[in-house]
A = this chain, B = another copy of it.
């Protein structure tokens, strides 16, 4: 395994992020280019192959020194065949990514869902370090997730494992969700949900602070709602309280069943820090079956930021060469 490196790739709808990693998951060098989604899947895959050539050449690494290429993609994946079943943001359906990229590069390729890669990344080199059982939640436009048990990502039989955002928390109602249901976790705890509620407060006149922010920027950011809450705006605090309540409930229910060592929370919303985390913990503890689970399962912020995806994608190869 001497002198080997791993290529980790995070294929998003906007950008292809790539990193050359040591076999211990340290980032040696990075590369990022726009994803040519409109040109079709073959052009995207060819671009990934070309970027791999570039990143290796720039680092003076030969193909023989590469243990493999791991990729995270935004959708369900058949991890055995490396076929991307569906990736809405890439306009891909049943795309044989592993097969095509192996043919283009001559390298071993492994593919996994991007949220699962982020979870793997945080487990390998981030906030989940040392935890063989952890849940990762990403609070962004939506609520993403990844579950790792006994050191392995739970991909599920359809590659949709880890879809934490669509746990139904309000079965008899709640806000409508993009998935077609109502009352999903995502409709309470995503940036989108917090902005929706904040905008409602601003427009109804119940929060002068948010009304100000709205008239100033034309639209609110989740950060505006957190800022208003920090400043003592009671209506804004109620929005954050509700998000934290449902997130704590969903996490406690998962912990009651899966009993992991860590919950890692990442994504833009998690930047709100302890103002959010303390509220999540309060709800979390309330809904645990056994109170000692509050001590054995830590809730911690993610530490790898945008690098979690490429590092976790690299972990797919690390697992392969370690097994």
Verify B261–A167 contact, CB threshold 8 A.
no
Copies of this polypeptide in the complex: 2
Interface size, chain A (Cβ < 8 Å): 44
User: CA separation between A256 and B180, bound complex, in Å?
Assistant: 14
User: CA separation between A133 and B150, bound complex, in Å?
Assistant: 14
Q: Which residues of B contact A249 (CB under 8 A)?
A: 168, 171
A87 contacts the other chain (CB 8 A): no
Verify B167–A253 contact, CB threshold 8 A.
yes
User: CA separation between A297 and B203, bound complex, in Å?
Assistant: 44
Contacting residues of chain A (141-163) with chain B, CB-CB under 8 angstroms: 145, 147, 149-150, 152, 154-163
A258 contacts the other chain (CB 8 A): yes
Known: A168-B252, A252-B168, A296-B157. A257 touches B290 (CB 8 A): no
A318 contacts the other chain (CB 8 A): no
Known: A133-B157, A150-B152, A157-B259. A289 touches B254 (CB 8 A): no
| In the complex, residue of chain B having the shortest beta-carbon distance to the beta carbon of A181 | B287
Verify A163–B253 contact, CB threshold 8 A.
no
CB distance from A295 to the nearest CB of B (A): 10
User: CA separation between A260 and B156, bound complex, in Å?
Assistant: 6
Contacting residues of chain A (269-323) with chain B, CB-CB under 8 angstroms: 286-287, 289-290, 292-293, 296-297
Contact of A289 among B133, B155, B163 (CB under 8 A): B163
